[in-house]
Structure 1
Amino acid sequence: MNKEVIITTIQAADDSALASMIRSVFDEYGAPTEGTVYVDPTTDHLSKVFDVNGSVLFVAKDGDKVIGSCGLYPTEGLPEGHVELVKFYISGEARGTGIGRLFMEKCYEQAEKFGYTHIYLESLPAFGKAISIYEKQGFEQLSAPLGNSGHTGCDIWMLKKIV
Structure 2
Amino acid sequence: MSQESIVIREIREADNAQLEQVIKGCFPEFEIPLKGTAYEDAETPKMFESYQGEKEVYYVVVKGDQVLGGAGIKKLKNYEGNVCELQKMYFSPEVRGRGFGKQLIIQCMEAAAAFGYAQCYLESAVQLKAAIHVYEQAGFKQRTEPLGNTGHYSCGVWMEKEL
Q: Which bin holds the TM-score, normalised by the shorter protein?
A: over 0.9
Offset of residue 42 of structure 1: 1.7
1:6 aligns with 2:7: yes
1:91 aligns with 2:92: yes
Contact kept, 8 Å, 2:83 with 2:120, in 1: the verdict is yes
Contact kept, 8 Å, 1:2 with 1:62, in 2: the verdict is no
- TM-score, normalised relative to structure 2: 0.94
Q: Figure out how many residues of one structure are paired with residues of the other and give that number.
A: 162
Paired with 1:2 and 1:81, the residues of 2 have a C-alpha distance of 42
Give the match for residue 80 of structure 1.
81
Paired with 2:101 and 2:129, the residues of 1 have a C-alpha distance of 15
Give the match for residue 61 of structure 1.
62
Paired with 2:141 and 2:87, the residues of 1 have a C-alpha distance of 16
Contact kept, 8 Å, 1:120 with 1:160, in 2: the verdict is yes
Paired with 1:128 and 1:78, the residues of 2 have a C-alpha distance of 27
AA aligned to 2:49 is K
SS of match in other structure, 2:17: helix
Q: What are the within-5 Å matches in structure 2 for residues 5-84 of structure 1?
A: 5-84=6-85
CA deviations over 1:2-35 (Å, ceiling 9, x no partner): 4411211111111110000101111211111111
Offset of residue 79 of structure 1: 4.4
Paired with 1:76 and 1:100, the residues of 2 have a C-alpha distance of 23
Structure 1: gaps of 5 or more residues: none
**Misfit runs of 4+, over 4 Å:** none
Structure 2: gaps of 5 or more residues: none
Give the match for residue 136 of structure 2.
135
Paired with 1:41 and 1:80, the residues of 2 have a C-alpha distance of 24
Offset of residue 137 of structure 1: 1.6
